[in-house]
Amino acid sequence: MKRTVLITGGARGIGRQMAIDFGNAGYNVIINYNKSEKQAMELVNELNAKEIACQAIQADISDAKQVQAMHDKIAFGHVDTLINNAGIAHIGLLQTDSEEDFNRVIGVDLKGVWLATRAFLPDMIQNGFGRIINISSFWSERGSSTETAYSAAKAGVNGLTKALSREVGLANVTVNAIIAGLIATEMNDNVPPDALIKIVDNTPVQRIGRPEDISHAALFLAEEKSSFINGALLHVDGGY
């Protein structure tokens, strides 16, 4: 049976690569986006040209009503694989960050994962199959100076992954997280060159990650033959 994947933040960066790779692997693809409508529509057209069934749905995943509305618009019946990929970053010192800054990052990077999972999990349980894959960060375990909200949010994603995996494993729904290293995406374009050099120097494979590194790991976790992997934090960071 053909599976359906929903990728939050699926119009750009890692999400875009996952949409392409999952589509090529035979999945129906649902691309969630918030503000990147142009990129989302271009990606839909690109996948449709390959005869890949694809749908783009706009929703701010930090808003419960919009997430539920997205659930109700699904064109392929139900979602088998949910990839909680959408994320934003904020750089600043804690003592100068505003409460709004903190709430915005937590709202998307942690609350958004919770809301999207809550919306699509009941269908997975009812159908007796589901894969929930959360995209976390190596900063969730090490912490990044000037990114306290982001680091805290991603650490929360790790905790959510571990806890939920214990709740739903019996229903043949697995919940795992990918601990991504520094990946060459638009979101990381503002990493200072000296910091980039330091990260590469401390990475045994001597490079930063590519979107396909994360996408390939997600495909692996989505497969039925990975059913005994549950509650895992899979490090895809070059050994940093």
Where do the domains of the chain lie?
4-235
| HSE of 212, CA atoms in CB hemisphere, 13 A | 3
CB–CB of 67/115 below 8 Å?
Answer: yes
> What is d(CA 220, CA 124) in angstroms, rounded to the nearest whole number?
19
4-235 topology per CATH: Rossmann fold (3.40.50)
pLDDT in tens, 96-118: 999 999 999 999 999 999 999 99
Catalytic positions: 150
Supply the pLDDT for residue 83: 98
CB atoms < 10 A from the CB of 51, how many?
A: 8
pLDDT in tens, 207-239: 989 999 999 999 999 999 999 999 999 999 998
pTM of the model: 0.95
What three-state secondary structure class fits 74? coil
Give every residue of the chain whose pLDDT is below 50, as ranges.
Answer: none
> Among candidates 68, 62, 82, 79, which has minimal Cα distance to 175?
82
| HSE of 49, CA atoms in CB hemisphere, 13 A | 7
